[in-house]
Amino acid sequence: MKKIIEKVKNNERVDLKEALRLYDLDLFSLGSLANDIREKRWQKKSFFNINRHINPTNICKDICKFCAFSASRKNPNPYTLTHDEILEIVKNSSKEGIKEVHIVSAHNPNASLEWYMEIFSKIKNDYPHIHIKALTAAEIDFLAKEHNKSYEEIIDLMIKNGVDSMPGGGAEIFDQEIRDYICKGKVSSKEWLQIHELWHKRGKKSNATMLFGHVEKRVHRVDHMIRLRELQDKTGGFNAFIPLVYQRENNYLNVKNFLSSQEILKTIAISRIVLDNFDHIKAYWVTSTVNLSLVAQNFGADDLDGTIQKESINSAAGAKSAKGLALKLFVSLIKNSGYIPVERDSLYNELSIY
């Protein structure tokens, strides 16, 4: 263990076995290693943005066992928003000063490719200053297969219609056996990584998530991080890593044991150490809870996502995030935890320091 700690302190890369061993460290020694890395890069700054989540449809051809958002037997309320309804949401949010829309849908076979794409150009046309973060690699894979297009063709359409960056959703866990158990039939790990690589090759940025705390083991989490690190070495196109803590309600994944806060913090800290080529580690307050995200700032995380305004995917599974977080409260919580709230844009340019 001493050797591994020395390596981390000397900024040397740890491999899968070494990263796994780090879980055996006590919580605060591990946290302190990760915090040193965080503070060297960002001192006491904690980033967030003023954003709005929009989920245009919940009708989905895939059945992911962990998902409580898509219309199903457990959640029988199918909806598909019209473009006018979406534009009305953006209009109202724009008045409140959002800088980003984060648009993610389910995989709706009844909606046309035009329905998916045109909303981006409509938003871009009316609100050119708003950054559009939209379409996960899982959605791109779905659209390509459903409409007989290549990934490159879908990516070209996204860029042509004004999508600025890709969110990190749909990564789940890359280990194929676990993946087949929790979301069989969805984009494979190889395809997810390939789509992000193609996106980065176009000079665009994206994020990467990891869904953990369900049936995976520690080794699968570290394996997931290392696959992301390898792609980041090649492209440098990822902005942030976002570990998503599994939410347990209203879904078909029958998980009996839930993660302790210690295990969540250790995983965030290890991600800060393993992902030495990622600038940002995001403690997503929606799935980590607000309080634990604030603590995670001391365990390697430098970003807390944003105000969100309306959250549907994780709140459907039990997260307390349906109405987002008010800006004033967000800022005061970060300040009160001893960090400096920095409002950023979607590409991490600093907009204002509170």
Chain positions contacting ligand V47, by CB under 6 A: 66-68, 136, 167-170, 172, 207, 209, 211, 242, 244, 246-247, 251, 284, 287, 305, 313-314, 317
- Relative to beta strand 350-353, strand 340-344 is antiparallel
CB-nearer residue toward ligand V47: 4 or 68:
68
SS3 295: helix
CB-nearer residue toward ligand V47: 8 or 106:
106
CB-nearer residue toward ligand V47: 35 or 58:
58
Residues 111 and 57: beta-carbon distance below 8 Å:
yes
Give least dist CB 158 to ligand V47, A: 15
Give least dist CB 278 to ligand V47, A: 13
Give least dist CB 36 to ligand V47, A: 25
* CA gap 198, 195 in Å, rounded: 5
In the DSSP assignment, the letter for residue 44 is: T
Give least dist CB 145 to ligand V47, A: 18
Give least dist CB 5 to ligand V47, A: 31
CB-nearer residue toward ligand V47: 170 or 300:
170
Give least dist CB 9 to ligand V47, A: 30
Instruction: Please give the residue whose beta carbon sits closest to ligand V47 in the complex.
Output: 169
- Got the DSSP string for 118-187? HHHHHHHHH-TTSEEEE--HHHHHHHHHHTT--HHHHHHHHHHTT--EE--TT-----HHHHHHHHTTS-
CB-nearer residue toward ligand V47: 266 or 282:
282
Question: Which residues make Cβ contacts (< 8 Å) with residue 128, sequence separation at least 6?
Answer: none
Q: Which of 336, 331, 313, 311 is nearest to 321 (CA)?
A: 311
CB-nearer residue toward ligand V47: 4 or 69:
69
* CA gap 178, 180 in Å, rounded: 5
Give least dist CB 308 to ligand V47, A: 8
The residue written with tokens 């709706």 in the block is 108
- Got the DSSP string for 100-137? EEEE-----TTS-HHHHHHHHHHHHHH-TTSEEEE--H
Helix (H) or strand (E) run with residue 343 in it: strand 340-344
CB-nearer residue toward ligand V47: 199 or 246:
246
